[in-house]
Amino acid sequence: MNIAKQSTTLEQVATDVLIVGVQKHREQMSNWSALPTAFGEQINEWVNNGEISSEAKAITKLPIAGKSVKHILFVGLGEGKSLTAEVLRNAFGLVGKQLKASKKTAYTIWLESFVTENLTEEEAAFLAGEGIGLGFYKVNHYKTTSNEADTYLEDVHFVGASSAEEVAANYEVGHIYAEATNEARTLVNTPPNLLTATDLADYAEALGKQYGFEVEILNKAQMEELGMGAILSVNKGSVQEPRMITLKYKATENWEDVVSFVGKGVTYDTGGYSLKPRDSMIGMKGDMGGAAAVLGAMKIIGETRPNKNVMAVIGSTDNMVSGEALKPDDVITTLSGKTVEVFNTDAEGRLVLADAVTYAKQQGAHYLIDVATLTGGVIVALGTDKTGALTNNEAFFEKFMEATMDTNEFVWRFPLTENDKKRIRNSEFADLNNSPGRDGHMIFGGGFIGEFAEDTPWIHLDIAGTSDASAVHDLGPKGGTGVMVRTLASFIEQLAEEE
């Protein structure tokens, strides 16, 4: 994408679309008349009489009988003094949808019109890059008819910016965040026969080569040699081999103070012998949403190069039924050496993550954040717009929450008590059981993973409700959301800035 780094005046604008913010009760731009159109002088009047809406997120498209500007998109911002980053990001998401629908790929943003006492032009530029990029996303399909060539955002210019180079840099970072989130969305939306554990590993390897990460992909034989009995037990029913994927971004000479993202990469989940109902299987192609989030965050890190050591570890397999498949009552031995009595083969994600977390620690993780579409219990508790969390370290969690404020990805912490831990450890035949009960389901699922994090500062993020959208929304279409991509990357950027 070409992002202009030089100043442009309104008189020099030549674009398909000019994007302009309209704030309530604001004295509108005195230089509307400078627009190279026949309508410049009339725009204030249209705003004042309500023909152009200033309501927050209202989009008014105005064709212009001019040679250099073909359309103007007016973006309602409501009261400027109360405009938040969340509202502006979503408004730009709607702009992205409009550009996609009209196949407009070149546009100019009148940045001055989006600046308020709460939002600087640099912040507005970042939110424009992020929001427009997210809104522009389209879900791929595999139909043999009505396939149209994809359109991509190509050129963006700015007018009314005091520092075009700095604005362009902020817009570019926002666009990087959007593109990485969109790639995660595409992974989640990909049919399971087209995205096996091997395919996911190939994607990760290509990402590593692109950004110079150290890459390690363990195959089944290597995992057996190391004793990864938990993920291998989940894989027993499958004809597809599992993979343990590791990417290392080394920002410093010494591999120290490492933050590790750990992703659940279950590419399809039937529930195993604890078989899901038919309707509950639909959508299980997205059970690798945690892995997608981790890979999306690593893409941003590869682009922005923060001064912080980061590792991604992904355990990937599917969970199928066969004569060899894992059964309730089985006892398995994990990579850590801890044994697990299996009460429920549909509680497979925590088994995959048990070995992935242990392996991350063996590879030098000092901090752990696991991301997983883990439980239906989190949806019962929080709905589909909130991510559930657990932690064993208050200070680490509070820092993470600062990043969620920046990205507006809502996270709610659940308690993990000693009584909860006792129930996870309640087994007649093993150290742990993988399903203590349906009450407190989310807590037990995440708490099981915590048994393998042990004393390493750890955050668990259950994105079962937030990884997939059941309907279109301001920032994208129905389907994978790419949730937590932006927050994970923002958190690393925050930690790097503190050092």
Cα(395)–Cα(495) distance, integer angstroms:
13
**249 φψ region: left (φ > 0), alpha (ψ -120 to 50), beta (else):** beta
DSSP string, 164-223: HHHHHHHHHHHHHHHHHHHHHHHHHHS-TTT--HHHHHHHHHHHHHHHT-EEEEE-HHHH
Nearby residues of 271 by Cβ (< 8 Å), 6 or more positions away: 280, 281, 319, 345, 346
Which one is catalytic: 57, 236, 350, 486? 350
**Residue 285 annotated as binding site:** no
Spell out a b/e string for 465-480, using b for 16 or more CB atoms within 10 Å of the CB, else e: bbbbbeeeebbbbebb
Nearest 10 degrees: CA dihedral of 206, 211, 216, 217?
A: -20
Cα(290)–Cα(461) distance, integer angstroms:
9
**Residue 355 annotated as binding site:** no
Q: Write the single-letter amino acid at 235.
A: N
Kindly state the tokens that stand for 448: 């099981």
The helix/strand/coil state of 401 is helix
**Residue 348 annotated as binding site:** yes
CB 214 within 8 A of CB 208: yes
Spell out a b/e string for 197-212, using b for 16 or more CB atoms within 10 Å of the CB, else e: bbbbbebbbebbeeee
The question of whether 276 is a catalytic residue gets the answer yes
CB atoms within 10 A of CB 214: 12
CB 22 within 8 A of CB 74: yes
**467 φψ region: left (φ > 0), alpha (ψ -120 to 50), beta (else):** alpha
The helix/strand/coil state of 70 is strand
CB 261 within 8 A of CB 310: yes
The question of whether 5 is a catalytic residue gets the answer no
Q: At what angle do helices 485-498 and 164-189 cross, to 10 degrees?
A: 140
Which one is catalytic: 138, 276, 413, 423? 276
- Give binding residues for Mn(2+) as ranges: 264, 269, 287, 346, 348
- Give binding residues as ranges: 264, 269, 287, 346, 348
- As annotated, the active-site residues are 276, 350
